[in-house]
Amino acid sequence: MEGPARSRAFGAVFHLVLIVYSAVFFLPLIWMAMSAFKDNGSILRSPFSLPTEWDFSVFVTAWVDGGLGRYAVNSAIVTAVTTGAVLLLGSMAAYAFSRFRFGADKLLLGLFTLGLILPVQSYFIAQNTLFEWLSLKDSRWALILPYTAFGLPLAIWLLTASLASVPRELFEAARVDGAGDWTIYRAIVLPLLRPGLATVAVFTVLAAWNEFLLALLYIQDDSLKTIPVGLLAFSTRYVTDYRLLFAALTMVTVPMVAVYTLFHRQVVAGLTEGSMK
């Protein structure tokens, strides 16, 4: 087989593998959404059959009667504040680490990088004691603060790498023109970091929206619970009503799939930013 023909054959096989791999993850989402339109008996008897009727009122019931709307609002507030804090603090720290040299810069950057590999279980006891002392438990801050801390290591590492590929002469020219640090950060750094900021935002939103362990341990007030913990209570409340449970899961999952689908190009661009100078 000649070179061009071999390349086409390899490309066809590669794309076929990708299609099969994607179907493994995508088909369960379709099955979950379809099950929301079927009664419990149909789900158990013929789980892979198509629904016989399309009654969208089940989503209204799950949203209102199941309290999913309240959980969604709480998750949206926590996720939005966390994402904003990670983007602001991460971009500022990246600017400092990439353009300034001070005594402990490498040590601090190493500590932030260490945060990428440390599991939450390794410091949960100390964190829990601190939150008890500060009376932060059963408040949104008990989630926003650790979620922000979880997101900062990746943000700082990724954004610092992006800025490291920018010629230093660009910043020196701005200094010569009389620009201060705040002006450089606002007018030069932020526009340059757009792909990286989009990547960080997507990862932060997905992590904060889906986090379960801390939300379960720190929030006992039902009016402050986020979606992952709310779904746990929802499934207990409707333990035999799989139709409502699948409707709730569909409403929770679809927005996150849509976020990644809409911004996947920015995610790829942000991850490759700075890989080549």
Q: Is residue 174 part of a domain?
A: yes
On whether residue 194 sits in a domain, the answer given is yes
Residue range 206-233, pLDDT digits in tens? 899 989 989 998 998 888 999 988 887 6
Which of 31-40, 84-93, 158-167, 266-275 has the weakest average pLDDT? Answer: 266-275
Q: What is the mean pLDDT of residues 37-60?
A: 82
Instruction: Evaluate whether residue 50 is within a structural domain.
Output: no
Does residue 4 belong to any structural domain of this protein? no
Q: Please give the average per-residue pLDDT across 118-133, as a whole number.
A: 85
For residues 85-108, average pLDDT: 84
Inside any domain, residue 28: no
Whether 25 has a pLDDT exceeding 90, the answer reads: no
Cβ neighbours of residue 14 closer than 8 Å, sequence gap 6 or more: none
pLDDT the model gives residue 246: 85
> Is 206 within a domain?
yes
Is the predicted pLDDT of residue 236 greater than 80, yes or no? no
3 has pLDDT over 80: no
Over residues 163-180, mean pLDDT: 81
In a domain, 12, yes or no: no
Element (H, E) at 11: helix 3-35
Other beta carbons within 10 Å of 159: 29
- Give the pLDDT score at 140: 93
* CATH number (domain holding residue 190): 1.10.3720.10
Residue 190 belongs to domain spanning: 61-272
Give the per-residue pLDDT at 215. Answer: 92
- Domains in the chain, number: 1
pLDDT digits (tens, 9 = 90+) for 102-119: 777 777 777 777 777 878
Nearest to 207 by CA among 265, 268, 151: 151
Query: Is 25 among the domain residues?
Result: no
| pLDDT over 50 (residue 4) | yes
Find all residues with CB under 8 Å of 175, minimum gap 6, and list them.
184
DSSP string, 39-102: -HHHHHH-TTSPPS---THHHHHHHHTT-HHHHHHHHHHHHHHHHHHHHHHHHHHHHHHHH---
